[in-house]
Amino acid sequence: MTTRTHVNYEVKGDVAVVRINDPNSKVNTLSIQMQKEMTEVMNEVWENNAINSAVLISSKPGCFIAGADINMIQGCKTPEEVTKLSQEGQKMFEQIEKSPKPIVAAINGSCLGGGLEFAIACQYRVATKSNKTVLGTPEVMLGLLPGAGGTQRLPKMVGLPSAFDMMLTGRNIRADKAKKMRLVDQLVDPLGPGLKSPEERTIEYLEEVAIECAKGIANKKISLRKEKGTMQKIQDYVMSFPFVRNQIYKTVQGKVMKQSKGLYPAPLKIIECVKTGVEQGPVAGYLAESQNFGQLAKTSESAALIGLYHGQVACKKNRFGTPEREVNTLAILGAGLMGAGIAQVSVDKGVHTILKDTTVEGLARGEQQVYKGLNDKTKKKSITSFERDSILSNLTGQLEYKGFEKADMVIEAVFEDINIKHKVIKEVEAVIPPHCIFASNTSALPIKDIAAASKRPEKVIGMHYFSPVDKMQLLEIITTDKTSKDTTASAVAVGLKQGKVIIVVGDGPGFYTTRCLAPMLAEAVRLLQEGVDPKKLDALTTGFGFPVGLATLADEVGIDVAAHVAEDLGKAFGSRFGGGNVEVLKTMVDLGFKGRKSGKGCYVYQPGTKVRDVNPDIGDILEKYKLTPNPSVSSDSEVQYRLVSRFVNEAVMCLQEGILNNPLEGDIGAVFGLGFPPCLGGPFRFVDSFGADKLVNKMRQYEAVYGNHFAPCQLLLDHAKDSSKKFHK
């Protein structure tokens, strides 16, 4: 017998306990080696007459099987190769499904993608009710579909609506929910300390329970025919009518088209596979699944999404090493939207957080925001009210600098005015200990200007969070040439603890993200002046793949902030940032149209209703600054490229100037911070796939009409000249 490294088994009584453990990784993936050994082991189990049933379990705490090996899929040259991989997977799971000896999947930790498809091919599933146990089919988020029988088995198991929901959103399902959905058959509670560590003993306990289940199924004490609830029966009955099913396909298709604007092929293919399987039977269904899987794997969308996945993983690591001291006490200045948001994502990680404001009203509002953020989680039952209260005990709200002598880091989120920032930095430096880091959550002011007031510029850094802080994943960290490496390492460590995806960029006006956004916003203002309605502007940008339309985005960010930034960056970068007239924004601010926060911006916001109308009063302003559009560059498509090319050009320029360390962080920052279309994978991947030369040609065309706002930067020109140059290899 050859030695196996990934899959092994032992026989306990008449039950084979099959253990999976990839020795080279923290998680188990269905790699070629894993599949090969699994097949060998299962054949031995089936051949062995002393074995009547089997339990499939992972030896890794926190991971059952996290999915298929992405590199294996990416390694394939053609769709046909990928299709073949899919068919091999289908075949293996078909054998599992038809196993004459019952197989119980014992799930602890992530059971995702191919892992879930494996589990649902088994006869029975037992899962630990732990927070780490999640089930799901995240393939769609990588532009793929569940290609090993998932599109065929899931609808049978959980019903069409739930199956669509799982496969189209890719969301993680916790164990207790999975039980309710009948995705798992039995739950096992995680155990506390005993004679072994809780993790170790919990896996043992899971195995013991699973073995009992396997025995029970083998000797028919446990029935595999599940009692269906009344609702389930009604649902099944309703689903037996073809017109009902057709209605579902239609509704789901409509929803997908509405949300994806048809820019993402995977969801549509998922619907197609499910439909084929349900309406034409398994043979056609499995075939459709494997073929579509092959096709999807080779789409640019999938490549973009997988690129983002890898990028995200890379940006969750601290490339600056471990900081000398951990930040245990964090002080935040300013309890506004940002300050309170930062506090919220810090307290729930166990960081003692001081939230300081200058007024009682401001402080109360900020503390209420943190409370509400956590209380919403209790309403969703992701934490208990007790946990909420105990998390909040990490928060100290105050008006004075008391306790700052213990702070390891101070993040200021005060008003964006360099004089106020200077005042604050001086006040803070008078009370903090020498090791304490001073971070500024500015979105546009250069950090070196802020650090000019500091006695210890090596301890000053920028930490640019995005609003709303608890929802937006990105954190842009800005270092000056004086910022020490340990300061950077510490800021990254704090951000990672807060659950952020982090890019670290160089200093300069607008850093990376704000700087990319500004020219696009300038172009948007010009479009408004040219008579494009805000709704039309939103439609054009979302139609290109931005999750939020530009007019809406401006309202969310705040028209005042946008005006401020446009003016500052306009001064710093000159005419390249021109286009729209800043006065449009300024006039709006003067009239109180500051965006959502003031109730009026591009749109009118009324509490309690989601329907928004265009603010009728901006018509007059736009009339005043009206421009005549040039028809040669004003088609819908040209308008989209006018917006995007300015964004992309500025991003490439940031790389050229060394603001960005690498294209990967540029892509992550644009997608996670600014909503650059994920299907394009970020500005740099977009240049690669769209073609730098094509983009340059377009820009030249616009440049002829509008001037140097559209002048392509040198790096972009280099790439245009040499088509072998790519940002991503």
Stretch of 35-43, 201-209, 504-512, 669-677 contacting other proteins, by CB under 8 A: 201-209
631 touching other proteins, by CB under 8 A: no
Tally of CB atoms within 10 A around 621: 21
- Residue closer to other proteins by CB (options 5, 131) is 131
- Residue closer to other proteins by CB (options 179, 261) is 179
- Residue closer to other proteins by CB (options 243, 386) is 386
- Residue closer to other proteins by CB (options 296, 391) is 391
- In the complex, what is the shortest distance from the CB of residue 130 to other proteins, in angstroms, rounded to a whole number? 12
- Residue closer to other proteins by CB (options 191, 713) is 191
Stretch of 198-206, 321-329, 476-484, 625-633 contacting other proteins, by CB under 8 A: 198-206
Residue with tokens 């090791």: 435
- Residue closer to other proteins by CB (options 193, 434) is 193
- In the complex, what is the shortest distance from the CB of residue 222 to other proteins, in angstroms, rounded to a whole number? 9
- Residue closer to other proteins by CB (options 189, 657) is 189
Stretch of 51-59, 72-80, 168-176, 204-212 contacting other proteins, by CB under 8 A: 204-212
Q: What are 491's two structure tokens?
A: 């800021």
198 touching other proteins, by CB under 8 A: yes
209 touching other proteins, by CB under 8 A: yes
- Residue closer to other proteins by CB (options 232, 384) is 384
193 touching other proteins, by CB under 8 A: yes
Reported as type and span, the H/E element at residue 613 is strand 613-614
- Residue closer to other proteins by CB (options 221, 700) is 221
Q: What whole-number distance in Å separates Cα of residue 473 and Cα of residue 69?
A: 25
Reported as type and span, the H/E element at residue 53 is strand 53-58
- In the complex, what is the shortest distance from the CB of residue 510 to other proteins, in angstroms, rounded to a whole number? 47
**Beta strands 613-614; 603-604: pairing state:** antiparallel
Stretch of 5-13, 142-150, 197-205, 289-297 contacting other proteins, by CB under 8 A: 197-205
| Given 195, 609, 611, 616, the residue binding other proteins (CB under 8 A) | 195
- In the complex, what is the shortest distance from the CB of residue 602 to other proteins, in angstroms, rounded to a whole number? 41
- In the complex, what is the shortest distance from the CB of residue 4 to other proteins, in angstroms, rounded to a whole number? 29
Q: What whole-number distance in Å separates Cα of residue 172 and Cα of residue 176?
A: 12
Stretch of 152-160, 172-180, 189-197, 696-704 contacting other proteins, by CB under 8 A: 189-197
DSSP conformational letter for 713:
P
DSSP conformational letter for 3:
P
- In the complex, what is the shortest distance from the CB of residue 191 to other proteins, in angstroms, rounded to a whole number? 4
201 touching other proteins, by CB under 8 A: yes
| ∠ Cα 155 159 164 (to 5°) | 65
Stretch of 3-11, 62-70, 193-201, 703-711 contacting other proteins, by CB under 8 A: 193-201
Catalytic residue annotation = 476
Stretch of 192-200, 244-252, 403-411, 571-579 contacting other proteins, by CB under 8 A: 192-200
Q: Which residues contact 247 (CB under 8 A, 6 or more apart)?
A: none
**Dihedrals phi, psi of 34, to nearest 5 degrees:** -60, -45
- In the complex, what is the shortest distance from the CB of residue 561 to other proteins, in angstroms, rounded to a whole number? 42
Burial 289-322 (b: 16+ CB within 10 A, else e): bbbbbbbbbbbbbbbbbbbbebbeebbeebebee
Residues β-bridged to residue 173: 135
Q: What whole-number distance in Å separates Cα of residue 418 and Cα of residue 441?
A: 12
Name which of 512, 530, 481, 484 is nearest 673 in CA terms: 512
**Beta strands 437-440; 409-412: pairing state:** parallel
- Residue closer to other proteins by CB (options 215, 515) is 215
- In the complex, what is the shortest distance from the CB of residue 190 to other proteins, in angstroms, rounded to a whole number? 8
Q: What are 74's two structure tokens?
A: 């990416």
| Given 386, 434, 610, 628, the residue binding other proteins (CB under 8 A) | 386
User: Measuring CA to CA, how many Å separate 729 from each of 175, 323, 630?
Assistant: 39, 32, 38
Q: What are 346's two structure tokens?
A: 């810090």
Cβ-contact 184, 210 below 8 angstroms: no
212 touching other proteins, by CB under 8 A: yes
| Given 99, 186, 253, 300, the residue binding other proteins (CB under 8 A) | 186
600 three-state secondary structure: strand
**Dihedrals phi, psi of 360, to nearest 5 degrees:** -60, -40
Q: What whole-number distance in Å separates Cα of residue 729 and Cα of residue 351?
A: 40
User: Measuring CA to CA, how many Å separate 120 from each of 112, 124, 146, 148?
Assistant: 11, 8, 12, 11
Stretch of 181-189, 358-366, 498-506, 549-557 contacting other proteins, by CB under 8 A: 181-189
189 touching other proteins, by CB under 8 A: yes
| Inter-helix orientation angle 663-674/300-314, to 10° | 100
Q: What are 153's two structure tokens?
A: 């088995």
| Given 13, 75, 194, 350, the residue binding other proteins (CB under 8 A) | 194
- Residue closer to other proteins by CB (options 205, 641) is 205
Residues β-bridged to residue 437: 409
379 touching other proteins, by CB under 8 A: no
| Given 205, 546, 593, 686, the residue binding other proteins (CB under 8 A) | 205
| Given 78, 219, 384, 630, the residue binding other proteins (CB under 8 A) | 384
- Residue closer to other proteins by CB (options 221, 426) is 221
Q: What whole-number distance in Å separates Cα of residue 60 and Cα of residue 447?
A: 44
- In the complex, what is the shortest distance from the CB of residue 204 to other proteins, in angstroms, rounded to a whole number? 8
- In the complex, what is the shortest distance from the CB of residue 347 to other proteins, in angstroms, rounded to a whole number? 18
- In the complex, what is the shortest distance from the CB of residue 99 to other proteins, in angstroms, rounded to a whole number? 23
130 three-state secondary structure: coil
Cβ-contact 154, 146 below 8 angstroms: yes
By CB neighbour count within 10 A (0-12 exposed, 13-18 middle, 19+ buried), where does 612 fall? middle
Q: What whole-number distance in Å separates Cα of residue 508 and Cα of residue 481?
A: 11
Binding mask 405-444 for other proteins (x = CB under 8 A): ----------------------------------------
Q: What are 170's two structure tokens?
A: 């890719």
- In the complex, what is the shortest distance from the CB of residue 193 to other proteins, in angstroms, rounded to a whole number? 5
Give the total of residues touching other proteins (CB under 8 A).
Answer: 18
356 three-state secondary structure: strand
607 touching other proteins, by CB under 8 A: no
378 touching other proteins, by CB under 8 A: no
350 touching other proteins, by CB under 8 A: no
Residue ranges in contact with other proteins by CB under 8 A: 186, 188-198, 201, 205, 209, 212, 384, 386
